[in-house]
Every structure is written in structure tokens, then in C-alpha cells.
Amino acid sequence: MKRIVVLTSGGDSPGMNAALRAIAKLGAGQGLRVFGSIDGYDGLIDGNFRELTKVLSDGVVTVDIEVDAAGGQGGTIIGSARSMRFRETQGRVVAAEQLAKLGAEGLIVIGGNGSLTGAHALANEAGIKVMGIPGSIDNDIGCTATSLGVDTALNTIVEACDRISDTARAHRRAFVVEVMGRDCGYLAMASAIAMAADAVLIRESGKSEDQLVDDIRQVILSGFARGKRRILIIKAEGVTAPCTRLVRMTEERMKQELPTLEIRATVLGHVVRGGSPSYADRAVAGRLGFGALNSLLKGATDEMVGWLPPVPGGTPTADSSVVRFSLERVLEETRALIDGSSPVTKRRVALMTQASGVLAL
């Protein structure tokens, strides 16, 4: 194997650039030329590649200086996109042709559920050697305990909630803070525990809008009755009721009980997805990059490397923390995580249920 391509697809996450750097550096060390596909699968279809390595005059392959420096940056220097064209069979045929034209013998895909679905299709339809690396701040990918960007996103949420708590205590106010997590409430759950939040609202609980409003009311009444000056409620994006609507409904329901009550809604949005990757995300990115590249060079294909997987099975790698799983199983586990049937999701919800009376202490 002399040339490979790596792409980042779907929502960006801190640690993607660290993974690109690791793959480029490790590849260069083995004389391998590494190319990045610009803007994900669209770059494959258009043949829009950027070399992440550099061939010196003496024939030695080294990592590109800009790529080497980008490991500590958020986002992704080769861009990311959700490609509608790649979802069509003809788009994948053209992508395979472009890889062949470049002389690429392998592909590493960094991304979430949709990105790995595309990787699985390309591996099966075109016979291209493909490895996946989980990249999603939502932590909603099967067969891995964490994905690139999760730790950084949690640190960002905790810092933002610390700042919000400062002003909340100054004015004796309640805040409902919405964080990302469209299909998975992991960020909300984990950050609520870290912040000792008064409550957490997650899609997985299955509660109606009216039930959520009543829960918020009870938490606020209980907290202020105990003399608290800050009430912090963390809401996952996947809870379909908008943050501002929940706040307005709660204030209306409580206007007789606490007529001077002020509840503030704060949506952190894409702030959670940006920023320089933490140590943990850089370390995991490097080790998953190492595992993916070595697996590819050994002939593995149609697989993803997972970090300390919470499910049994898989194929061990040289790194005891990194295990390979078939993309078919990864996608099955991911669907179970999202629809709530996965034991991992059930454990998370059960733990939050047990901690519901503890978070407010």
C-alpha cells in the first residue's frame, strides 16, 4: 500500500485534526502518502484531494507542516459535509473511480453514523479497503465508549454552566441550559452529573411536554425552598419542546406560587462543537488513528476502531484500548443506542433515574 485517503464527514468534532495529523505522521513514517478528501464524500466524487504528507527531494515522505500544526485546532482542516450525491449508487461509483485514479488503495473515514454508513456501502460495493474512526460529540456511535470530541464538548458545557451559575446565584434565578444531542442525551446526562445540576431533561425518558414542565416546576420549588440561589436544569437538544417554550410554560404555571420568578433559557448550540481538543480527545484521536492505519495496512476492511468498547467481541489491536468491529455491527449497535433498545442506553437512563434525587443536593 503506497497511497491512502482520509476524510472527515458529517458534523465536525474536536479531535478530527488530531486524528488527521496522527494518520499523516504515522503513514509518512512508513513511506505512505496520505491524501485528504476535501469536504468529505463530495471531495471523493469530485476528485478534490489535498496531500497531507509531503515528498522531499530525496524521496523521504514527511507530514505537511500545516497538518502537523493543526492537531491542536478544532474543526477539520479538510472540511466536512453531508453529501446527498454519495447516497446515490452512481455517486459512490464515481467516488470509487476517483480513488482508483489517484492510486489510493485504502480509505479512512472519520465521522458519525451517516459517515460510517457510507463507508460500509463503499467497502461492499467497490471492494475498497475502508476503516472507520468514530467522530461525534454526541457519543451516539456503537461499539465505542467515546468518540472524538466528546470530552472537549463536555469541558465546554461545564465551563459555560459554571459561568451561568455565577450569575444565577447573584440574582437567585433558575436557568434551563440546552446542549447538543439530537438523538442521544449523553452530553446532557454527563454534564448534569459533573455540574450537580438540579435536573436533566433527556429524550430517552419519554416524558411529555406537560410532564417536563411539571418536573421543572417541582425542581424549582424544592430548590428555592431549601435556600438555593441557583437552579440549573440541563436539557438535551433531542427533547423536542424548545427551550424557550418550556421556560415560558413553566413561568406561566408558577406565576401564582412565585410571582417574581425569573427563568432564563440558554441554548449553547454550536459553541459545544468548537474549540481546541482536550488532552483526552487528542490522545484518543492519536491512538484510534494508529489503530485504523495499522489495521488498514494489515488488510482489514469494512471495520471501525472503537475505544474501550462497552460491548463484547471485536478484534484486538496492538493497543489494548482499541478494538476493531465490523461496520455492520457498529451500525446495528448505533441504531440500538438511538432507539433505546441498547443495554448501553438502558444503563445510562437507569443511572440517571437513580441519581434524580441526588443531582439537586
Handedness of CA 164, 165, 166, 167 (dihedral sign): positive
Longest alpha-carbon distance in the chain: 80
User: Cell numbers at residue 158, please?
Assistant: 461545564
- Active site includes 138? yes
Distance of CA 206 to the CA centre of its chain: 23
User: Cell numbers at residue 142, please?
Assistant: 456503537
Q: Is 259 exposed, middle or buried (0-12, 13-18, 19+ CB in 10 A)?
A: exposed
Cell 467497490, residue located: 126
Which residue in 12, 39, 138, 215 is the catalytic one?
A: 138
The b/e string for 38-51 (b: 16+ C-beta within 10 A; e otherwise) is bbbbbbbbbeebee
Question: Residues with Cβ < 8 Å from 57, sequence gap 6 or more?
Answer: none
Q: Give the count of beta carbons closer than 10 Å to the beta carbon of residue 65.
A: 9
User: Torsion angle of alpha carbons 335, 338, 344, 347, nearest 10°?
Assistant: -150
Provide the annotated active-site residues: 138
